[in-house]
Amino acid sequence: MVGAYTAFPNYGRAVEPVIILSIETAGGELIYKAGETRFHNEAYNEESARLIIQMLREVIERGTGHALYSRYNLQGDYGGKTGTTQNNVDGWFIGFTPDIVAGAWVGAENPGIRFQSTALGQGAHTALPIFARFMQQTEKSSQHKYIAGNRFYPLPEELQNKLNCEDYLEDYRPREEMGFFERLFGSPERQKPSTEAEQDSLLEERNRKVLQRMRDIFRKREE
């Protein structure tokens, strides 16, 4: 998975992951150095990569990976994704900067060994702290402290507009094209609200319908 993520900061071209860059003796003598970076063929174009980077940065800035900044006080530009498998058997986190990709996995070979709850077993609470501690030491390192200062290329306006998705769709979609929750709870209103008050009213009405539908489901189960 770390190998796949290397394509993001390299704008569409994955590289062969390297675990150890070099090894030195206590006296500073170099006894091992990794070879040159080997790039794979382009997996997708640079525009797609930049959009993906921005979406994964949102995970860190205001999503499940926000602890990198709020708790561990990392200073660099980060993108990443947490992950938790069914029944909390595995928790993982893959993170990256413009210069480095790293990942952490917490789990066991035996799937019968698991955390009792997602609150304990989710990747944000198990694997992310390992990545964060590693990057704390990396940012403090005199040799690699540049990582904290490097930034991703800013998105041009035309790409920013692609990420500004509308909350409401005006087009009609047949039932077979709807998602699971749309079929279960009903589709949201298709018209775009013209004012903030109308938006609040539509959201309140949608939430009311969802709650009523859930009550009906549980009522049928009890019967």
List pLDDT tens digits, range 116-172. Answer: 888 889 999 999 999 999 999 999 998 888 988 999 998 888 888 888 766 555 555
Task: For 39, list phi and psi in degrees, rounded to 5.
Answer: -90, 145
Place of tokens 């174009």: 45
Burial bucket for residue 197 (CB in 10 Å: 0-12, 13-18, 19+): exposed
The domain ranges of the chain are: 2-163, 175-222
pTM: 0.69
pLDDT at 95: 97
Q: Are 114 and 89 in contact (CB under 8 A)?
A: yes
What confidence tens digit (pLDDT) does each residue in 178-208 have?
665 555 555 554 445 555 556 566 666 766 7
- pLDDT tens digit string along 78-114? 999 999 998 889 999 999 999 999 999 999 888 888 8
Confidence class for position 48, pLDDT limits 50, 70, 90:
very high
What CATH number does domain 2-163 carry, 3.30.365.10, 2.60.210.10, 3.40.710.10, 3.60.15.10? 3.40.710.10
